[in-house]
Structure 1
Amino acid sequence: MSDATPILHMLSPQKHMSPFDVNMAADAGYKVIIPYINVTLEEVTPLVQDAIFSRPPDYGVRTGFFIGGKDAILALDMMEAARKALVPPFQLSVFADPAGSFTTAAAMVACVERVLRFKFGRGWKGTRIAVFGATGVVGFASSIITALEGAQVRLVAHRGVERVIKSAAVSKERFGVDLEAVAGETEDQKRQIIEDAEVIFAAAAAGVQVISKEQKAFAKNLLVAADVNAVPPPGVEGMELFMNGEPLPDCNALGVGPLAIGDIKYKTESGLFKQMLASDEALSLDFRHAFALARQLVA
């Protein structure tokens, strides 16, 4: 491996680059970190080519691009644009984690998978999942990860099913997975969804409760509920921050709380940065690679 200085270029389509991600990259070992803000998709190619042509080819493995923002599809498009901009033998590594949500989704799925395996002796194949907050990046990524593992995934719309139908269509087109979009706007609709679910992902915005104590009483088939919301009130009423397979109050299910997920998320994001630094080959890392690492971390 080249002993060139490790440089990380961090792209955000928004007006700020996340300080969380900057800190993570620095602590992982990058020596030079440059944030770029308000970056458009069209600007990715010239930025990448500026980076690769300024260093000898063997320095490529010590050059990285990180893609942030809050839009999963745009982040994936930027990642693809970066890959296409490479001109062999010039190379660099790319890591997409918009809003830290790809690694959060990977951590949530890995934590729940561990509970399913050790408490119930089963995996994702055929498991019925309801995703609340399905149009967010965590909901988007977690639904695709589990569908790729063979789960039956329902995307719950709390305000108009059209956006969720669009998300399911995009997931089918890009990843070949079949996700079911369902309306969850009324109490009756929500009750039917909760009654059927074996796993619930609560991935709505911070401070939004999606499952109440009363609604948990309908969850006769529920095995595990996971909640990424650390801001009160919890996304699932009764969920405690550090739950990691403990009984969830007012139902027969087990809970996985946001700080148990957050611990694995932190280690996953740090670990992917370190993979880029240690690799002898250029890497392209998205939520699928994050899940592979998160699985190892919870094992």
Structure 2
Amino acid sequence: AAAAHLDLGAARALVLASTGPVGRRVVQLLAGRGAEVRAASRSRQRAAEVCQSVAARLPSARLSAHASDSAEELQQATDGVDVIVAAGAAGVELMTAKVWESCPGLKVAIDLNAVPPAGLSGIEPTDRATGRHGVSCYGAIGVGGVKMKIHKAAIRRLFESNDQVLDAEEILHIGQSLQRSP
């Protein structure tokens, strides 16, 4: 979703709840596309572990670990970001609308949580490039259509041969090929 609005290779992204399975993959996928990624967690140490893990796979990745447990820490983590992705557990608010709406230069906000309350308050699950305060917002259902297309394409690939392993990088390539096809 973010790639539709900006060049990820020049983007600065903040991934909230980066230590969970979804957050880790988001950090890796954004870093793989060249974004400078700030991995955030309530524990800076756990965020640093995510950065180390991703850097082991992507040595040229531009990564930094941030704590996000207080308003002050969130303010520091959001400074200068173009993209914010909330990848937290269902029903956990990670950032108030007041915080993300006040980020100068923020272009895209994505909340991958469809269960109320939103991970990024003020973003609806059905938002799909919905403009809010000059930011293109996506909710979990708004990105879900693309997710289902990728899922179907991946399943088709698995039926083509039984020796394939589709890791996060390969699934990203499937998604990119779907974007290029008419």
In the alignment, which of 219, 222, 236 is matched to residue 106 of structure 2? 222
Q: Which runs of 5+ in 2 are unaligned?
A: none
1:206-244, Cα deviation, whole Å (9 max, x unpaired): 101112122124211100000110000111111122211
Mapped pair 1:145 → 2:29:
yes
The answer for the alignment partner of 1:103 in structure 2 is: none
How far, CA to CA, are the matches of 2:76 and 2:62 in structure 1? 20
Q: Report if aligned partners of 1:131, 1:200 keep a CA contact under 8 Å in 2.
A: yes
How far, CA to CA, are the matches of 2:32 and 2:97 in structure 1? 31
Q: Report if aligned partners of 1:196, 1:219 keep a CA contact under 8 Å in 2.
A: yes
Q: Report if aligned partners of 1:227, 1:236 keep a CA contact under 8 Å in 2.
A: yes
Q: Which runs of 5+ in 1 are unaligned?
A: 1-110, 117-121
- Secondary structure (helix, strand or coil) at the match of 2:8 reads coil
The answer for the alignment partner of 2:3 in structure 1 is: 113
The answer for the alignment partner of 1:258 in structure 2 is: 140
- Secondary structure (helix, strand or coil) at the match of 2:55 reads helix
Q: Report if aligned partners of 2:35, 2:62 keep a CA contact under 8 Å in 1.
A: no
- Aligned partner letter, 1:293: I
The answer for the alignment partner of 2:82 in structure 1 is: 198
Matches within 5 A, 1:57-72: none
Give the drift of 1:289.
1.3
Mapped pair 1:166 → 2:56:
no
Give the drift of 1:252.
2.0
1:95-137, Cα deviation, whole Å (9 max, x unpaired): xxxxxxxxxxxxxxxx2212x1xxxxx3111200000010011
- Aligned partner letter, 1:125: G
- Aligned partner letter, 2:52: A
The answer for the alignment partner of 1:64 in structure 2 is: none
Q: Report if aligned partners of 1:226, 1:256 keep a CA contact under 8 Å in 2.
A: yes
Q: TM-score, normalised by structure 1?
A: 0.57
1:125-176, Cα deviation, whole Å (9 max, x unpaired): 1200000010011111111111111110000122x21111111111111332
Please, which moves more after superposition, 145-154 or 166-175?
166-175
Distance 1:244 1:298, change over 3 A: farther
In the alignment, which of 168, 177, 181 is matched to residue 296 of structure 1? 177
Identity %: 25
Please, which moves more after superposition, 237-246 or 226-235?
237-246
- Aligned partner letter, 2:172: F
Mapped pair 1:181 → 2:65:
yes
- Secondary structure (helix, strand or coil) at the match of 1:235 reads coil
Q: TM-score, normalised by structure 2?
A: 0.90
In the alignment, which of 119, 124, 145 is matched to residue 240 of structure 1? 124
Q: Report if aligned partners of 2:67, 2:73 keep a CA contact under 8 Å in 1.
A: yes
Which has the larger Rg? 1
In the alignment, which of 115, 128, 142 is matched to residue 12 of structure 2? 128
How far, CA to CA, are the matches of 1:205 and 1:126 in structure 2? 28
Q: Report if aligned partners of 1:206, 1:231 keep a CA contact under 8 Å in 2.
A: yes
